[in-house]
Each structure stands twice: as structure tokens, then as C-alpha cells.
Amino acid sequence: MSDEKIAVVTGGNKGIGKEVCRQLATKGIRVVLTARDEGRGKTAIEELKAASAETIFHPLDVTSPESIDKLGTFIEREFGHLDILVNNAAIRTDQGTRGEDVSIDTLREMMEANVYGPLAVCQRLIPLLKKSAAGRIVNFSSGMASLAKMKGGSPAYRITKTALNAVTGILADELSGSGILVNSVHPGHVKTDMGGPNAVRELEDGADTPVWLALLPDDGPTGGFYFDRKPFDW
Ligand code: NAP
């Protein structure tokens, strides 16, 4: 196994995921930037290259078991191990809905992308993370997932991110002692397509805590939920 640290970022073609790729790459990590659309992924690679951040592209649609398996095979063949998995990709297609009227099909579709997908990616890549000296999994949650602060509106998005937080807790417990640290992050309200016109945070700030979690030291926390590098209410 080489000393080179390898990271996979899902949904790396734009928004916070792309910025996470940039920050990790500029810290000397070999980043596999994944995207469901090859053209958008390759454009992002070129843009990052122009910003002095070299990354490698591989296609990944987190809702496709075949696509997930192909990524796993690629990482296995090229690197033999994985150090960092950032589950950033997500959709939010339930704006303007309420719990009493959201379409169950919308919820199903969002569960596929925001929960089953990231869990399936974890399942395929955990054997490779176990071959790392310091495996890290970062799951992108949201402040809207907090049960302690739960409110109405965007019910499907809230449900999916709360479920993803459960995935974090489950995997962190099951993987304790393996060297793999698993945490959730709330990036804040960030200026991206998903964040919308009222977002207040810059990409750099939104990516700071996930990158910090991706690079935690061996005695770092696991099974936590973080915002601005501090614990956030579940
Ligand atoms: P964004 O700009 O909408 O980017 C989302 C990314 O996910 C895109 O690259 C998108 O690809 C990708 N994606 C969606 N479905 C996918 C699939 N099935 N397979 C692979 N990739 C897929 O969102 P963002 O604001 O950067 O959000 C990043 C993460 O932060 C998300 O998990 C989001 O829930 C979370 N978050 C964001 C905010 C915020 O204010 N922005 C707040 C709290 C949490 P395409 O370009 O192909 O659509």
C-alpha cells in the first residue's frame, strides 16, 4: 500500500462537493472527483486544474448499484485502498411541500439519492477503507435533520437527512476499533444551486468542516454531528 492518501467525493462536479475536492487536492490528497454526468464531471476537473487543484474523474450515480460497483472496482485496481469517503451528493426536490401533502414518490426518490445511495456507497467502499491506516467517512447532513430542532416544511429532505444521520451513528458504532471514523456534517446555508438565493455562506466556509472531518487525527471523534467544527444537536 502506498503512503498516498486517496479520497472519493460524491457529487463533486459543483457546489460544496467541488470545493471539498479543491481543498483536499490542495492539501496533497489524491482526490477522485465523482459525478453522475461525465461532461459536468470533466468540466469540473478542468476548472479545478486551472485553480491548481489536480483531481481524477470517475463517474458515479449514487442511485445505481452498477455505477457504485464500477467505482469500487476502479479504486481497488488503481489504489488498492481508500482513505476518505465524502458522501456529499444529494437532491432536494420537495421545496414548498408540507408533511401533510408531500408526494410519497418524491420522498422515495429522495431516499434513494440521499440515504440508500450513500449507504450503498459505504457498503461497497468500507472494505477498501479498512485497508487504510486512517479511514474517514463524512456524511453530508443538514441543520434541517436535527430532531432537537425539527420544524415543518421540506419534509422529505428533513426525513432523508435525519435517516442519513442514523447511518452515521450505526456505521460509527459498527466500525469502532477499525480505525474508520464516521461523522455527519451540517455545512451551514451555503451559496450553491441547492442553497438558493438567500444563502449566506461562501463555498470555502461550507467545505471547511467536512474537510476537517475528512482529515481527523486517529484520536479524533466518531459518531458525531458537526457544524463549524463543533458538535451540533442531533
Ligand atoms: P448542489 O449544488 O445542488 O450539488 C449537489 C450535487 O449532488 C451535484 O453535484 C449533483 O449532481 C449531485 N447529485 C445529485 N444526485 C446525485 C446522484 N444520484 N448521484 C451522484 N451525484 C448526485 O448542492 P450543495 O448545496 O453543494 O449540497 C452539497 C451537500 O450539502 C448536500 O448533501 C446537501 O444536502 C448539503 N447541504 C447543503 C446546504 C446548502 O445550503 N447548500 C445546507 C445543508 C446541507 P448534478 O450536478 O448532476 O445534479
Rounded distance from Cα 144 to ligand 1 centre (Å): 15
Per-residue model confidence as pLDDT tens digits over 95-137: 999 999 999 999 999 999 999 999 999 999 999 999 999 999 9
Look at phi and psi of residue 155 and say left if phi exceeds 0, alpha if psi is from -120 to 50, else beta.
alpha
Per residue in 144-155, pLDDT (tens digit) is 999 999 999 999
For residue 88, the CA-to-ligand 1 centroid distance in Å is 6
The CB of 63 under 6 Å from ligand 1? The reply is yes
pLDDT at 142: 98
Rounded to an integer, the average pLDDT of 175-197 is 98
Of 203, 220, 218, the closest CA to residue 51 belongs to 203
195 CA to centre of ligand 1 in angstroms = 9
36 lines ligand 1 (CB under 6 A): yes
Residue positions annotated with a catalytic role: 157
In the block, which residue shows the cell 469502532? 176
- Establish whether residue 165 lines the binding site of ligand 1, counting it when its CB lies within 6 angstroms of any ligand atom: no
For position 4, what pLDDT does the model report? 87
User: What integer best gives the mean pLDDT of the chain?
Assistant: 98
Percentage, residues of the chain above pLDDT 90: 98
Domains of the chain: 6-231 (3.40.50.720)
Question: Apex CA 211: angle with CA 210 and CA 213, to 5°?
Answer: 65
Whose Cα sits closest to atom 35 in ligand 1? 140
Of 9, 55, 192, which is best to mutate to test ligand 1, by the most ligand atoms within 8 angstroms of its C-beta? 192
Task: Summarize pLDDT for 8-26 with one digit per residue, the tens.
Answer: 999 999 999 999 999 999 9
DSSP secondary structure string for all residues of 36-94: SSHHHHHHHHHHHHHTT--EEEEE--TT-HHHHHHHHHHHHHHTS--SEEEE-------
Residue 1 has pLDDT above 60, yes or no: no
Q: What is the pLDDT of residue 3?
A: 74
pLDDT of the residue at 2? 59
Q: How far is CA 35 from CA 50, 58, 213, in A?
A: 19, 7, 21
Rounded average pLDDT over 46-50: 98
Question: pLDDT by residue (tens digit) across 54-100?
Answer: 999 999 999 999 999 999 999 999 999 999 999 999 999 999 999 99
Q: How remote is the CA of residue 61 from the centroid of ligand 1, in Å?
A: 12
Name the pTM for this structure: 0.98
Minimum CA distance residue for ligand 1 atom 15: 90
The pLDDT value recorded for residue 11 is: 98
Average pLDDT for 163-174: 98
Pocket test for ligand 1, best of 14, 138, 162, 225 (most atoms within 8 A of CB): 14
